[in-house]
Structures are given as C-alpha cells and as structure tokens.
C-alpha cells in the first residue's frame, strides 16, 4: 500500500464501494424472506375469512350447494371468470391463466382442447385442434366436405367452416339456408400441428346449456372424405358450470391469490384468481424468472390421492409454504368446508409474494444502476483529480530539484501558484517563499565575501607594510620570531581572502556559463600529457575502455575541475604509484575517477571534504580546502555526483564523479 501512487490508492479505495451492492443484495434477500413469512400469515388469515364466507354461501345459496353435491352429479363444462384482457385473433398467447381448466378429448390419435372463459357480457371459446391435413371449404353454398366446428346452444346450432385462415363467419342454419350471426366474432388460425379457433359469443346468446363438435376431413383423392367426428360433450348438451350463476361469487375479487373450491370427489367447482397477475408486466422480470408462465398450481380436478386434500376432507386444515426461499415460493392453505356438521368440500387458497419480490428486485436493480452510475462518475472525478494532483506534485518536485543545487545553492526562485487554491498551491507558495528567503541569504553571503575582500585588503596591506618596516629595525631574537609569526599570519589571511574571491568568481562564472556538448576522452588524454609536463616528479596514467563519450556542459569549466582534482592529488601524493585517471561505464552510469597514493581522509570526514574551507588530511601543509569545494560546484553544473573514498588498503584516496545515462552520450 505504501508503494502505490496517489491515484492508485484512490482507485483502490473506490473499489470498497463495490461492497455496497453486495450488502444491499443481502438486505434484499432478508426482505424477501420476511415477505414470504408475512404472505404466509396473511394467506392463513385470508383462508379463515374465505372459509366463513363459503360456508355462509353453502347455507343460503342452493345453486352453489348443488355444485358441491356429488350425488347424481351431472356432467358439466368448467367456465373460468375472465381476469385478463382477451384479444380475439386466433392465437392463444393471452389464454395462459386458463389452460389449467381446459377440457381435452382425443380422436384417432389427434387431440383437441376447449377452454371457456366468461364475463358479464361475453363467453369466450378457444379450440386448439391437432390436424395433420386441414381441408378448407371450397364453395360458398356450404356444399362439400371440409374441416369445421359446430356449437349447440340452447335453441340453435352455429358452425364455423372457413374458406381460409383469418376471420370466419358464424353461420346459423335456417329454413332458407345459412345466415351469418353478426354478433359472434371468430378467427381461425393455423398452428404448427393443426389449427386454433377463437370465438367471442354474447352471454345472453349462450344460455345455460352447451355442446361442441369437431368435424375432421382429409383431402383424399378425388375428393375430400370425412375422417372423424368427435365431441367435447358426447354429442349432448351439458350445463355450463358458470360462476356468474352465483351472484356472490361473481363479486368476489382475488388480489394476488388463487381460490379453489372442491367437492368430496376432488372436482373443482369454483376457481378464481392468479397468485402472480403482474408477473409479465416488466421486462426486467426476465432477469430473475426464466419461465414467465404461471406458477403451476392445480388443474381442473384435484386427485383424492393428494395427501393434503385427503387430510383436509377428513377435517384437518393444512398449511404449506411451497419452495421456501425461492423466488417462486407461494403459500398454500387447505380448509374443510362444512354444511352444519357435515364436510361437503374443501377450500384451497394459494398466494404468492412474487410480485412484491419482483418490485423489490426492480427497485434494487434501479438503485444498483443509479449507484453504478454515481460510482463511475465519482471514480472518474477522483481519478482526474488525483491525476491532476499527482501531476502538480511531480512538477513541484522537479522545479524544487532544479531550484536548489546539491550544495544548497538557489538556482532560481519558485514562482507562486495563483491559479489553484488548495493544499498543493499552499505548499508551492511555501516553497516559493522559502526559496526567496534562501536566495536573499545566498546573495547576502556572496556580497559579504566581496565586501570582506574589499574592506580587509587595505588593513592587511597596512599591517604587512608596518611589519616590513619593523623588520628593518635591529630586533632581539624573541621580537624577530614574533614578527615572523605575525607576517606569516598576515600572508595566510591575504591568501584566504584571495581563495574566497576566487570561489565567488567561479560561482558567478558557473551561473553565467552556457552549456554545449564536448568530447570527454580527448580532453582527459590531452590533460594527462600536460600534467606529466607540469609535474615531472609525479607519474600520471590514463585508463579507459570507452573510445568516445560526450557530455553537455562547459569544456573550460570541466578542465578547471580536473585541474583542482589533480592539484589536490599532487599535494598529497607520496609518489609510490602513478596518479591515475579512469573513465568507464558502469551500471548504466559514466564514472570518472582520480586516485593517488598518500594520506587518507578520516571516515567521518569523507562527506564534508567538499565543504568550503575544509581540509581533513593529516599534514595538509596549510592547505585551505577550496579545491574540492570548487570541483564540486563544477561537477554539479555538469549534473554529476561527486564523492570521496579511501582505498581499501588505506593507501590513498579516490575522487569519483558519476553521471546518469541521460546526461552522457557514447
């Protein structure tokens, strides 16, 4: 963590926000579990209320009581109450809540299915017929054989014999032929394994009795032949088990639950509602539910082999939470229905909290998307801010390194930050104020040396002149010795002022010097020959494995730096070995080393030998310690790093200057 940059730290911290959706999902799961439990309790309470309602209905409504009577039970067709919109278009998409109550028959291996739905105004019919060879009517006069469906109503028959897929006329046979009944609307559509016929009849046209027949023809050569005739009611009219015949039931509305009433034989005599009416209302539900078909509950007949129903018909109420923990979990309560002391049927109530769960997940999804958008914007803003802060901090670091040299000299003053008003700007302004004060102090020191040199030279000259005059007099031996000591001190003081002036002039020359590229190897070779001529008592040797290397700087200042290093080496050389110049490339750095045999430097003083007026060697012989200080100034001007080190065998000293690879070119 400590090695990460500011922007990466902010990005890492931002990732913590990803834990919020996980925590919210855990909270959502807890809410869903609570919804299941609350729904179960509400279902139990609702079942008790409905049981009281149906038992009162049994006492006061003979029609409903007869539906529960299993003695002399006559065949009936189950009719469901319309709960959803039905578009009469020949397709069965919107009929999914009513398929469980369809009547099914089979003829010669081909099946057919009839679904009946009613409301206050209409009776809706859906025929789904398997037919491997659909034969349409050829003639308008109804002659010939074709596939058709006939309905037997109270007082007449209707038949549907299409000429082609699409809307088909409802034809009623009269003494004058066939007449179209305009109040009946029907559409015939082909399916993958046969055809479908969807019909809407006015409720007052149907009556209480109903029958339906299917005529199946095959296109045999040379003309179509009738293959079979089969009926949903055994070619008889049967009663429609209409819920509208019991007024109290027609006004009973179910909200997110399903009510079923069975007789002792397990036949469903009443059914209404769906435990998930709005499950297809939102496209986002497909994220959670793969199958959007209705929850499988019960068909048109409940088998007496059902353990729960058996116990209920024996007088023991049953309570269940089916698929607990799943999205499709629902509650089921079975209550026995009594007529006085006698059990006459059972009430089955099923309820699901799936709608509430889906609404909760929809809210969670919206919140997650909003949070994700906020998180992306926040991370983008934090990243840009951190990147800007990092850039400004790096720029401040670079200008600070450029403003202050290694020996603490101020090259230039850092400018104040006026555009921003934050912590980095405050830090920049603090550095600006600091470099300004350091610059003023450095200028004061430079002027102080010049002033001292100017002010002290005249008094020193007077002192030296006076001492020279005194030397003419006949002095005692003790006075002469004291006079010689005073002359030596005055001479040393004059020499010190000269060296300080030289250092000041060199610093000013470095500031005003222009940099250009020069070749180093040839310069060192020429200097080696020159030094051998100037100091014939000493030996000089140049060593290098580099043929040519260039530095950017001042050739004259570089030569002056080498002069200072050689003068220092000659002063302390014991002549036991040559003074060596060594130029080499090592670890991607250019290294220049000047070494000599002689006096060593104390270990604790190795870092301070380059300070002004410092000399750490024994027997320095009055050496003032300015040479290495001036060499360091010039080395810093050439972006070099200078150090001093003793030889491992304690037989001399090496001065080493190194440059990074970005400052030299081979």
Strands 579-586 and 589-597: antiparallel
Could you state, in order of their start, the residue ranges of all structural domains in the chain? Answer: 6-32+367-399, 91-241, 423-512, 516-665
Residues 529, 534, 536, 537: is their CA dihedral positive or negative? Answer: negative
Residue 536 DSSP label: T
Q: What is the tens place of the pLDDT at every residue in 376-395?
A: 888 788 778 778 888 888 88
pLDDT tens for each residue of 606-659: 777 877 665 555 544 444 567 788 888 888 888 888 999 988 877 889 999 999
pLDDT band, residue 287 (cuts 50/70/90): low
- The number of angstroms, rounded, from the C-alpha of 259 to the middle of its chain's C-alpha atoms is 46
Give every CB contact of residue 10 below 8 A, 6+ residues apart in sequence. Answer: 382, 383, 386
- Structural contact between residues 128 and 90, judged by C-beta atoms closer than 8 angstroms: no
Question: Does 169 score more than 90 pLDDT?
Answer: yes
H or E segment and range at residue 200: strand 194-202
Greater confidence, 332 or 100? 332
Among 66-70, 204-208, 433-437, 630-634, whose mean pLDDT is lowest? 66-70
Helix residue spans in 61-143 (DSSP H): 62-68
pTM for this prediction: 0.47
Residue 245 has, within 13 A of its CA and on its CB side, a CA count of: 19
Decide: helix, strand or coil at residue 340: coil
252 vs 96 pLDDT, higher one: 96
- Give percent of the chain above pLDDT 70: 85
Domain 423-512 CATH class label: mainly alpha
pLDDT by residue (tens digit) across 478-507? Answer: 777 787 787 777 777 777 777 677 777 777
| Structural tokens at position 659 | 């440059």
- DSSP sequence for 401-420: HHHB-TTS-BSSPPPP--S-
Helix, strand, coil share (%) of the chain residues, nearest 5: 40, 25, 30
CATH architecture of 516-665: 2-Layer Sandwich (3.30)
Q: Which fold has domain 91-241?
A: Immunoglobulin-like (2.60.40)
- Looking at residue 593, what is its pLDDT? 93
């Amino acid at each position: 963590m400590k090695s990460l940059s500011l922007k990466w730290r902010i990005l890492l911290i931002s990732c913590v926000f990803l834990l919020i959706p996980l925590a919210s999902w855990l909270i959502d799961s807890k809410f869903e579990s609570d919804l299941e439990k609350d729904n179960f309790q509400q279902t139990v309470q609702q079942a008790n209320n409905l049981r009281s309602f149906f038992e009162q209905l049994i006492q006061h409504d003979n029609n409903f009581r007869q539906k529960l009577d299993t003695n002399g039970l006559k065949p009936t067709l189950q009719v469901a109450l319309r709960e959803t919109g039905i578009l009469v278009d020949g397709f069965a998409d919107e009929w999914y809540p009513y398929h469980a109550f369809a009547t099914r028959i089979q003829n010669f291996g081909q099946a057919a299915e009839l679904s009946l739905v009613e409301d206050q105004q209409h009776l809706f019919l859906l025929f789904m017929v398997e037919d491997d060879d659909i034969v349409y009517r050829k003639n308008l006069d109804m002659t010939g054989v074709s596939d058709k469906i006939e309905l037997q109503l109270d007082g007449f028959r209707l038949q549907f014999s299409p000429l082609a897929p699409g809307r088909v006329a409802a034809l009623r046979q009269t003494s004058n032929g066939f007449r179209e009944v305009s109040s009946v609307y029907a559409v015939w559509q082909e399916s993958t394994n046969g055809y479908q016929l969807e019909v809407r009849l006015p409720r007052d046209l149907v009556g209480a009795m109903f029958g339906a027949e299917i005529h199946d023809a095959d296109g045999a050569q040379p003309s179509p032949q009738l293959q079979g005739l089969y009926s949903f009611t055994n070619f008889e009219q049967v009663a429609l088990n209409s819920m509208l015949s019991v007024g109290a039931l027609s006004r009973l509305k179910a909200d997110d639950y399903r009510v079923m009433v069975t007789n002792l034989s397990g036949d469903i005599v009443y059914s209404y509602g769906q435990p998930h009416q709005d499950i297809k209302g939102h496209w986002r539900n497909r994220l959670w539910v793969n199958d959007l078909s209705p929850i499988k509950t019960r068909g048109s007949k409940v088998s007496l082999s059902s353990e729960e129903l058996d116990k209920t018909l024996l007088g023991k109420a049953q309570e269940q939470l089916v698929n607990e923990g799943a999205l499709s979990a629902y509650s089921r309560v079975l209550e026995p229905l009594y007529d006085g002391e006698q059990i006459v049927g059972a009430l089955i109530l099923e309820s699901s909290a799936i709608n509430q769960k889906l609404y909760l997940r929809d809210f969670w999804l919206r919140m997650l998307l909003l949070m994700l958008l906020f998180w992306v914007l926040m991370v983008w803003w934090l990243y840009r801010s951190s990147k800007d802060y990092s850039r400004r901090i790096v720029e401040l670091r670079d200008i600070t390194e450029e403003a202050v040299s290694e020996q603490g000299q101020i090259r230039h003053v850092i400018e104040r930050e006026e555009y921003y008003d934050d912590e980095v700007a405050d830090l920049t302004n603090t550095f600006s104020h600091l470099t300004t004060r350091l610059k003023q102090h450095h200028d004061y020191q430079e002027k102080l040396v010049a002033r001292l040199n100017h002010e002290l030279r005249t008094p020193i000259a007077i002192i030296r002149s006076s001492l020279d005059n005194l030397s003419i007099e006949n002095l005692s031996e003790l006075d002469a010795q004291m006079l010689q000591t005073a002359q030596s001190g005055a001479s040393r003081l004059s020499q010190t002022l000269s060296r300080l002036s030289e250092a000041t002039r060199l610093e000013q020359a470095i500031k005003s010097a222009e940099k250009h590229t020069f070749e180093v190897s040839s310069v060192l070779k020429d200097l080696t020959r020159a030094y051998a001529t100037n100091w014939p008592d000493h030996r000089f040797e140049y060593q290098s494995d580099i043929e040519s290397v260039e530095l950017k700087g001042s050739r004259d200042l570089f030569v002056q730096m080498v002069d200072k290093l050689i003068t220092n080496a000659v002063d302390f050389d014991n002549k036991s070995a040559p003074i060596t110049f060594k130029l080499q490339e090592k670890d991607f750095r250019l290294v220049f080393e000047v070494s000599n045999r002689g006096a060593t430097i104390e270990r604790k003083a190795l870092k301070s030998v380059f300070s002004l007026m410092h000399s750490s060697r024994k027997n320095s012989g009055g050496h003032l310690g300015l040479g290495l200080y001036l060499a360091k100034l010039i080395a810093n001007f050439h972006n070099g790093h200078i150090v001093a080190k003793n030889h491992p065998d304690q037989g001399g000293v090496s001065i080493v200057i190194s440059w990074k690879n970005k400052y030299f070119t081979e």
